[in-house]
Amino acid sequence: MRKRILDGKVICLIFTLISGLGSLLYLLYFDAPILWNIIGIFLLLTDLLVIGILQAIAQKVGRTFTKKVLVFYGSLILKYGILFLANFIGYGYQTWSNVLLGCLIYGSVWGTLIMGILFVFHGYKILESHEPHPNESEISNLSKKRVFSIIFISALAVLGLIGGIIMDIAIIMPRDQLHGSFVAGIMAGMMGIFLGVVNLAFTGILLLSISVLWSHRGWKGKGKGKNNGKEKGEQNRKQFLLRKEIYVLGMITVLGLIIASLSFLPLVSTPNFTRQADEDFNQAFNPSFGGDWQTDIPSSIEQTYFLSAPFQLAGYFLGSPTFDCITLKDILYFNGTTSIYPQDHAITLYFDAFLPLNNGQGLPGENSTLIRIHGGGWVIGDKALQNMNQMNRYFAAQGYCVFDIQYGLYNESTLFANIPGTPTNVLGNFTIDDILRHIGNFTFYLETHAEEYGANLDSVFISGGSAGGQLTSATALSLTHGNYSIFSSAFTVKGQIPFYPANNAQLDFVFTSRPEWVNPDLLVDVNSPPCLIYQGERDSLYPRAIAHQQAYMDASREDCAALVFPYAGHGSDLYFMGYYSQVFLYYMERFLYLYH
């Protein structure tokens, strides 16, 4: 017994030290992909190991230690909530906010590591005292208030597991059967690993709560007489309750493990979809670069500026580093009062600019222009945080002049109604034609101010997701055609990068728009710019992305790759350091460099 205790303590201590020191190394030095995958595995396994050890100890020790375990589980759930939100927001241009985010990320990681190892040592100390079971007075003194609090905690755990089940359904259910699970698909795609550990924590909370309540029920009313018949009856009753308790706890354990395991499916499949992405990228773009696109990227550029591996597990937990660039916020490019169109009079449109340091000298992007268009079904959304600021800063740090723009939205639709976060200055009764005209206004603005921002208009890329993906393709292909007067003729589009494009939408307010702008597939021809598509396999828009790729093939253009990610739903890229978005970013930065 003592040897098993020693082994458990030592193993847990080793895992904790490796996780703590490894995360510190990640904070100080970023580019070591093999090491970061190892550290990421230890961060994950340490949490799982501590959960297992504390759960085992708590089943043998009284309620006093159970309280500590519940506190740890609550802290673990809070940690993953903090990690997700902090990394979703990401580091920006303000020092104070970066310091705060860093403290939240590393404070939560190191705090739970320290708490976990302390609780493990304390639990083993109790086991070594040879008092593994609660005494009768401890159980019989369970107050009504305490019973109510445990029932309340159990209910929260059940709700958490129900949420886990909903997320798992979004991961494994075929896309044509995912009715009403739009939000669940987004969250599942971004938070799979987090959800897996959190579901285990909820399972542990439920198991411990039921154990305490069951013990209270099983011991309550124990006979005190000396009658052997009564004692035997009481003993049989307790044995029956014990068997029933074991059965119930076993069922909950199995269910919790299944719920948690399904959440890890995207992580487990990462090596496979990374290999598939590489094959698809090679097939599309090798022919344009003499059979091997990799020879066109200097090793000095790749080693200095690009991701050295498609996925780093530590980055999923600890986030990305800060990206140095110049940030200019809320610059007016269109005042609707000056428009000849009455529907424009109530709007003002702004953009954010993310520019490279030192005018981009020596950086791989060489001041190429990247226009980013947010999504939101043409009815909600905004630039900045809602359009992946981290990606904007990432490419600005590589030498691209990135412009994150607003455009007019249709405000009379019930689609995504009452969702907060959309500014009122962009709302109006706008069709797809109007929206593209707004984007065209930005192209004329940038033509006039290109020198001011250092933007190279001879090398332009356009990117956006969902509705922004549809607008990306419509804008890029219309600019390439050159026969639409609403766009500036000063732009040379070198590539388009739509994320799950919502092409050919069947909505009332788009029916009056140009067919080729509703469905940009109609604009694809032999002169179309190269294309790289992000697409989740569980997303209902999957067929539309594949149709856009097919339009390129029908036009005898091979240089369009659709990187399709298994178990990924709509918006699965929004967590910047997620498994899907890391892999796509690896290829997107190479795509931009190859064609810039």
pLDDT one-digit tens code per residue, 290-316: 999 999 999 999 999 999 999 999 999
**Is 397 found in the same domain as 262?**
no
Residue 453 counted as domain residue: yes
- Whether 403 and 495 share a structural domain: yes
Does residue 468 have a pLDDT over 70? yes
Phi and psi based region of residue 561 (left: phi greater than 0; alpha: psi -120 to 50; beta: remaining): beta
Sheet holding 456-465, edge to edge: 326-335, 348-355, 401-405, 368-373, 456-465, 493-499, 531-536, 560-565
307 assigned to some structural domain: no
Residue 550 placed within a domain: yes
Let me know whether 262 and 341 are in one domain: no
7-21, 329-343, 469-483, 485-499: segment of lowest average pLDDT: 7-21
What's the pLDDT score for residue 342?
94
Q: For position 189, what pLDDT does the model report?
A: 65
Distance CA 491, CA 476 (A): 10
- pLDDT for 264 equals 84
Whether 447 is covered by a domain: the verdict is yes
Is residue 413 within 8 Å of 379, Cβ to Cβ? yes
Which residues sit opposite 334 in a β-bridge? Answer: 349
pTM above 0.85, yes or no: yes
Q: Give the integer Cα–Cα distance in Å for 349 and 510.
A: 21
- Check the CA dihedral 586-592-595-596 and report its sign: negative
Q: Can you state the angle between helices 182-219 and 33-60, rounded to 10 degrees?
A: 30
Angle between helices 2-28 and 33-60 (to 10 degrees): 150
335 and 259, same structural domain?
no
Which sign, positive or negative, has the C-alpha torsion 79, 85, 90, 95? negative
- Do residues 498 and 408 both lie within one domain? yes
Q: Are residues 329 and 262 in the same domain?
A: no
Q: Say whether pLDDT at 128 is over 50.
A: yes
First to last CA, the chain: 65
**∠259-261-265 over CA atoms, to 5°?**
115
**Residue 155 within a domain:** yes
Shared domain for 261 and 364, answered yes or no, is no
Residue 292 covered by a domain: no
* C-alpha to C-alpha distance for 259 and 247, rounded to whole angstroms: 18
**Three-class DSSP category at 485:** coil
Regarding whether 518 and 408 lie in a shared domain, the answer is yes
Q: Indicate if 262 and 383 belong to the same structural domain.
A: no
Q: Are residues 328 and 441 in the same domain?
A: yes
Decide: helix, strand or coil at residue 567.
coil
> Each residue of 316-351: pLDDT tens digit?
999 988 899 999 999 999 999 999 999 999 999 999
Judgement on whether residues 326 and 264 belong to the same structural domain of the protein: no
DSSP label of 306: S
Same domain (yes/no): 261, 354: no
Following CA atoms 319, 293, 371, 477 in sequence, which dihedral angle do they give, to the nearest 10 degrees?
-140
Q: What is the pLDDT of residues 484-508, one digit of tens each?
A: 999 999 999 999 999 999 999 877 6
* Residue 469 forms part of a structural domain: yes
What distance in Å separates the CA atoms of residue 567 and residue 539, rounded to the nearest whole number?
Answer: 9
pLDDT in the model for residue 222: 45
Tell me the residue range of the domain where 67 lies.
2-222+255-268
User: What CATH number has the domain bearing residue 457?
Assistant: 3.40.50.1820
The count of structural domains within the chain is: 2
240 domain residue, yes or no = no
Asked whether 108 and 76 are in contact (CB, 8 A), the reply is no
